[in-house]
Amino acid sequence: MFATDQRDLRTPRKHTAVRTVVFYVIFASLWIYFSDTLLAWFLSDPDQLTQAQTFKNGFFVAVTATLLYLYLSHCLQVQRNCEEAIEEEQDKTQQDIRERFKQLSTLFDSMNAVVYVADFTTYELLYVNQFTEQFFGQDWRGRKCYQYLQEGINHPCDFCTNSQLIINGEPGNPVVWEFLNTKNNRWYECIDNAIRWTDGRLVRLEVAQDITERKELEKIKDDLLSTMSHEMRTPLTAISGFAELLLNEPEVPEQQRRHVEIIYNEAEKLTELINRFLDVRRLKFDRARINYEYLSVLDLMEKAKNGCRDCKAHHHIKIECQADIQVYGNRQELTQAITQLLENACRYSPESGRISLTAQSSNRETSICVADQGLGIPKHELESIFNPFHRIDTGNTRSTGGVGLGLCLAKEVVTLHGGKMQVESISGQGSTFTIVLPKPVDRNNTLNVNTNDARQL
């Protein structure tokens, strides 16, 4: 900014100098030419002419020297004024920056959240708010974020979000994640952002909100539901087992058989609900990132096709995938997610049977698409279908007998793999669900994106 100002101020002075020199050359040439001609015209005596020319030259030198002196003084004065103006402007800007920084610090200091700024390349801490100082100490200056915020770590954290925050050298989207702080044993929800620091470089701003109470409540609620679910499983297994036995009895009268069939179907539905609920819970809380391996997408697709329970004879599932496409993840979870999409495609395509399962791979990601030509999903429902227990309330979907946890589970799996789930649909024409997974080479970075997985700081 100051460099531009100085350039702007220097340019007109340069033009004035050039103009003055040109004016001087023209004026001096004219003066010399015409004064000599005039003198020669008026004075015919050579002695008088020589004297007059000497006087004229002296006069010329005196006048031009005075003009030069005045001009140089003027230039110096202008330069002094400019420098003073620039200095004043610099002072004012720095004061402005200090003032704004003070305002922001006051704001951040009054927040009950950990706020800090760290350099992207050196990890050096540039700012820490008072709340953070209270927990982690005041000796943060000159230290790296991982040394200050963690116990006994001397290298950047495995789950550092730096690589996800900058896209093509520019700040990207914020990354939201949760972690358990081992220093104070509290849970935090972190929002990481790439921002430009006062000197123009890119830095990481992290705002971490204490969510321990919420986590504890969630855990109590979840433990309760989980215990109840486990307890209900045993009687339910007995109910469906005995109902199945009765159904296989040839002597059961027709009307009682229908009643037993209802008992069996409802018990199965409840069992599915409980199993799905326990699956979601396991993914959210108990899951360790184990059993990750390189997986053939074609293999996963074929397994999903074979495991699809809702596929009827009129459904034609067509697989299109190159044999060498690979993803990095948990085999069982990814198969489960694809199977879920496939089962939904079959379930919600009661008439039309064409379903395609395709995979594509680019430099950065692998997409697995499940497309059907079934009922489709209304536009306003596209977001909410991934919410737990959300079902689209139409006569058709009710009759399909799901529990509204399948998509939630599939999305959770994909998110935990650092990917995203996309859906496109036209009501009455069909839907396309796409699982987008990062390429295996990115796994160290991308597996940490936007997960609700527990991390330790």
CB 272 → ligand ADP: shortest distance, Å? 8
Give Rg (Cα) of the chain.
39
User: Which of 329, 402, 419, 438 lies at the binding interface for ligand ADP (CB under 6 A)?
Assistant: 402
Regarding 431 and contact with ligand ADP (CB under 6 A), the answer is yes
Contacts of 240 (CB under 8 A, 6+ apart): 264, 267, 268, 271
User: Which of 243, 283, 301, 375 lies at the binding interface for ligand ADP (CB under 6 A)?
Assistant: 375
Contact 379/373 with Cβ under 8 angstroms? Answer: no
User: Which of 404, 439, 445, 452 lies at the binding interface for ligand ADP (CB under 6 A)?
Assistant: 404
Alpha carbons 300 and 414: distance in angstroms, whole number = 14
Regarding 335 and contact with ligand ADP (CB under 6 A), the answer is no
Regarding 442 and contact with ligand ADP (CB under 6 A), the answer is no
Residue identified by tokens 């024409």 is 429
CB 325 → ligand ADP: shortest distance, Å? 23
CB 121 → ligand ADP: shortest distance, Å? 43
Q: Which is nearer to ligand ADP, 345 or 416 (CB)?
A: 345
Contact 260/253 with Cβ under 8 angstroms? Answer: no
Alpha carbons 126 and 55: distance in angstroms, whole number = 73
**Residue of this chain nearest to ligand ADP (CB atom):** 402
Identify which range of 7-15, 104-112, 290-298, 402-410 contacts ligand ADP by CB under 6 A.
402-410
Regarding 372 and contact with ligand ADP (CB under 6 A), the answer is yes
User: Which of 301, 337, 374, 434 lies at the binding interface for ligand ADP (CB under 6 A)?
Assistant: 374
Q: Which is nearer to ligand ADP, 329 or 376 (CB)?
A: 376
Regarding 397 and contact with ligand ADP (CB under 6 A), the answer is yes
Contact 330/291 with Cβ under 8 angstroms? Answer: yes
Q: Which is nearer to ligand ADP, 402 or 419 (CB)?
A: 402
Alpha carbons 217 and 220: distance in angstroms, whole number = 5
**Distances in Å between the alpha carbon of 189 and those of 43, 55, 113, 223?**
100, 91, 10, 21
CB 134 → ligand ADP: shortest distance, Å? 44
**Distances in Å between the alpha carbon of 176 and those of 189, 190, 212?**
7, 6, 16
Phi, psi of 239 (to 5 degrees): -60, -50
Q: Which is nearer to ligand ADP, 169 or 395 (CB)?
A: 395
CB 341 → ligand ADP: shortest distance, Å? 7
Q: Which is nearer to ligand ADP, 35 or 397 (CB)?
A: 397
Regarding 377 and contact with ligand ADP (CB under 6 A), the answer is yes
Contacts of 456 (CB under 8 A, 6+ apart): 179, 180, 181, 182
Alpha carbons 432 and 371: distance in angstroms, whole number = 4
- Site residues (CB under 6 A) for ligand ADP? 344-345, 348, 372, 374-377, 385, 390-392, 397, 402-408, 431
